[in-house]
Structure 1
Amino acid sequence: MSVKKRGLGKGLSALISDEVIIDNKKQHKEIIENIDIKLVNPNENQPRKEFGEEALLDLTNSIKIHGLIQPIIVRKVKDKYEIIAGERRWRASKAAGLKEIPCIIKDVDEEVSAKFALIENIQREDLNPIEEAIAYKQLMKKYHLTQEEVASQVGKSRSYIANTLRLLNLENKIIEHISKGELTSGHGKALLGIKDKKKQLLVAEEIIKNNLNVRDVESIANKKKDFTRKSIISNKDPNIINLEEELMERLGTKVNLTEGDKKGKIEIEYYGYEDLERIIDILTK
C-alpha cells in the first residue's frame, strides 16, 4: 500500500491568497504598512489564551532593542484592524512602547480569519491540548463545520480531531491540569477510560503526585491495577517505558516496545487510513 505524504491541510496560502491578477498574470502582492498600535485589536477567535510571561518579557526586551522584525497579519474591521496572526508580537510591542506596528493587511472574512489563527498556532506548536480542543469546537459550532471539514483545513486526521475534542469531556479540574502542563494529552485520553468521575479525578491527582505514565493509567482504566504507584509493578526496563512514553506523546497513539536477545519489535497502533497517514507524516518529517 502506498501512502502519499501530505502537508498541513490546505495550508495558510490556500486560505489567504497573497496573489493579485494584473494583465491576466498572477503577481505576488504583500504590502507592509505601519499602523497606529491603538487601532489594532486582538482577535476574539484567537485560540491561544496562555502567552507565558517570561517569554513575552524576553520578546518585549528584544523589540525595545531591535524593533519588531516580523510584521503581524491583520484584517480591517470598520475603522480599526483585527489581528489574524501575531497577537504575542502585538502584546510585546505594546509593552515595549511602540506607537506603530508593522502589519500585513489581508482582505478576508471572520471565518477565514479564525481558521488562519488556528492553523498558524498549530504550525508554531503554540497551543496546549485544551486550547486546541476548544478552538476545534468553536470552529465546528460557529461555522457549522464537520470534524472532517476541520481536519481537512488544519491538516489533521478526523480521528485526531475527534480524540482531541474528547479531552473536553474530562472533569474541569483535569482540564485545568492539562492546560497547565501538569498532565499530558495522553494522560487525559487514558483517563477518559475511567467512567467514574470521582475516581477519574483521584487518578489524575495520583498521576501528578507519583509521576504515573500513560500505560499505568491505561492499566487502571482497564481495572488491571490499582491507582497507587506502589501497586504498579512492571518487569519492563524503566528506560524502555520512558521511551514508549516519548513515542506515544510524539505519535499520539499507543506504542509498545518488545525487547529480545538480539532484536526487538516496535508496535504502533493506528485507527483507520487517515490516522495511519498522520503517523507516517510525523515519521517522515
Structure 2
Amino acid sequence: MSAQERDAAGRDVTTTVTALPTDRLRPNDYNPNRMTKAEFAELVEEVRHLGRLPKPVVVRSAEDGYLIVDGEHGWRAATEVGLVEIACEVIEADDFEAMRQTYKRNQHGTHDRVALGHMFRRMLEERGLSNRELAKEINVSEGTVRNALLFAEAADLRNRYARGTGAGSWSPESDWYFKDLTVRQARLYVALPEDIRDKWLSARCPDDWGLPEGVVWEHLDDLVYYAEKLASTGIAKVLERGAWAESAKKAYELLMWRGEHRRLVEDIDAYIRPVVDLHPKTPTHVQILERLPI
C-alpha cells in the first residue's frame, strides 16, 4: 500500500506499508525518544495481546536491511514477543529528512534532552543551517533548538570531565548531579571555567551561590572570573561540599569593592594579585588596598 507525504522542502514523498522481517530492522544511532520501563512493559503486553504492532514502524532502506526512523520501541517490543515480521512504512529519506521525521513523529513524546541536542547538532551540520533555520524546518521555536544544543554541550563537557577523572563510561541518566539540571543551570555550567564547573555541579548547582537574588546573572562573567581565581589559590576549598557558597560570597565581596573603585584599579589581574600574594590568609579590603598598584 502506497501513500503520499511531504518532506521538509514540501516535496511529495512516496511511502509504502509492507510486512518486513523483524530481524532485518535495526535502530538508528540518534533516536532521542525515551520510554520508561513501565511504559515499555505496557507496550509489550499490548503487542502480545494484539499479535501485532499498534501502528507500523517507519523505516528507510539501508545497505544491510532497514534503518528505523520511528517506532524503535515498537520494534523492540515485537522482538521480545517473538513476532517474525511486522508492518513497516518504508519511506525515502536522506539523513536529514530521517532525523526530521523522527522528531516530527514524536514531537509530543518524551525526549532525552542530551540526545535531542546531539541530533539537532547533526541536522545543523548536515544542511549548514542556523538555529533559526532548523527551528523553522521542524516547526519549533528557536529557543527549543538552542536549549537542546545547550544540554548537548553541557553533556560533552561533563563527559570530558568524567573521562579525565577515570570515572569510565558516562551517561546523563547515571549522573544524578547532571540529569536534573534546569536550562538555567545548564547555561551556567557551560559558562563556568573548566577548573570549577564540575566542582559547582558537585555542590548541587546552587542557583544563587548564596548571594542576593539577581546578583549571579547580572554579574556572571565577573563572578566566574573571581571565583576561578579564588579557587585556584585555595582561599576557598570549593571541592568540599558546602564550601562553594563561601567562595562565591568572597568573590562577590571583591566584585562589589572593585565596582566602587574601578577608576583606581582598571586591570582585573592587578586587582586579584594581592589576594594571591596574601594567600593562605584571606585578605581584608584594607590589605588589598595597601598592595594595589595605585
Taking structure 2 as the reference length, the TM-score comes to 0.56
Report if the CA contact (8 A) 1:207-1:213 is conserved.
no
C-alpha distance 68-214 of structure 1, shift in aligned 2 (>3 A): farther
Flag the 1:45–1:201 CA change in 2: closer, same or farther, 3 A.
closer
Q: 2:112, 2:58 → 1: CA distance?
A: 22
- Give, as a single letter, the amino acid of the residue that structure 2 aligns with 1:72: V
Q: Residue type matched to 2:150 in 1?
A: R
Q: 1:172 — aligned with what?
A: 158
Residue 63 in 1 paired to residue 47 in 2? yes
For structure 2, the 5+ residue unaligned runs are: 162-170, 228-242, 250-294
How many Å apart are 1:78 and its aligned residue?
4.9
Contact kept, 8 Å, 2:30 with 2:118, in 1: the verdict is: no
Check 1:149–1:64 CA distance in 2 against 1; reply closer, same or farther (3 A cut).
Answer: same
Q: Name the structure 1 match of 2:86.
A: 101
Partner residue of 1:38?
23
Structure 1 residues 129 and 167 mapped into 2: Cα distance closer, same or farther (>3 Å)? same
**For 2:99 and 2:145, how far apart are their aligned partners in 1?**
17
Pair 1:144 & 2:137 matched: no
- Taking structure 1 as reference, are residues 38 and 181 closer, same or farther at Cα in structure 2, changes over 3 Å only? same
Kept in 2: contact 1:31–1:104 (CA 8 A): yes
On the 8 A contact 1:73/1:103 being kept in 2, the answer is yes
Matched, 1:187 2:173: no
Equivalent positions of 1:198-209 (< 5 A) are 198-207=195-204
Question: Once the 2 structures are TM-superposed, how far is the Cα of residue 89 of structure 1 from its aligned partner?
Answer: 0.9
**Structure 1 Cα separation of the partners of residues 176 and 136 of structure 2:** 26
Identity of aligned residues (%): 16
CA distance in 1 between partners of 2:58 and 2:138 (Å): 18
Shift of 1:17: 7.7
Number of equivalenced pairs: 206
Residues 96-133 of structure 1, C-alpha deviation per residue, up to 9 Å, x if partnerless?
Answer: 11111111122333331122113333x13322221111
- For the residues of structure 1 that align with 2:140 and 2:208, how far apart are their CA atoms? 22
- Contact 1:34–1:101 (CA<8 Å) still a contact in 2? yes
Matched to 2:102, the amino acid is A
Counterpart contact for 2:177–2:201, Cα < 8 Å: no
In 1, Cα distance between the equivalents of 2:75 and 2:56?
9
Whichever residue aligns with residue 183 of structure 1, its letter is L
8 Å CA contact 2:208–2:216 kept in 1: the answer is: no
Q: Which has the larger radius of gyration?
A: 2
Looking at structure 2, the residues matched to 206 and 180 of structure 1 have their Cα atoms a distance apart, in angstroms, of: 11
Residue identity in the other structure for 1:37: T
1:1-12 paired onto structure 2 within 5 Å: none
Separation (CA, whole Å) in 1 of partners of 2:125 and 2:86: 33
Give the 3 Å change call, closer, same or farther, for CA 140–13 of structure 1 in structure 2. Answer: same
1:161 aligns with: 145
What's the counterpart of residue 85 of structure 1? 70
C-alpha separation in 1, matches of 2:112 and 2:177:
6
Q: In the alignment, what sits opposite 2:8?
A: 15
Q: Check conservation: 1:129, 1:178, Cα contact below 8 A.
A: no
| Residue from 108, 117, 132 that aligns with 1:133 | 117
1:196 paired residue number: 193
Task: Verify: 1:74 aligned to 2:59, yes or no.
Answer: yes
1:137 alignment partner AA? R
* 1:226-269 per-position Cα deviation (integer Å, ceiling 9, x unaligned): 8449x99xxxxxxxxxxxxxxxxxxxxxxxxxxxxxxxxxxxxx
Distance of aligned partners of 1:100 and 1:220 in 2 relative to their CA distance in 1, 3 Å threshold: same
- TM-score by length of structure 1 reads 0.58
Any conservation in 2 of the 1:133–1:165 contact (CA below 8 Å)? yes
Call closer, same or farther: CA 1:34–1:16 in 2, change over 3 Å: farther
Paired AA for residue 201 in structure 2: A
> Deviations 1:45-83 (Å, cap 9, x if unpaired)?
4344x5544432332122112231111111233572221
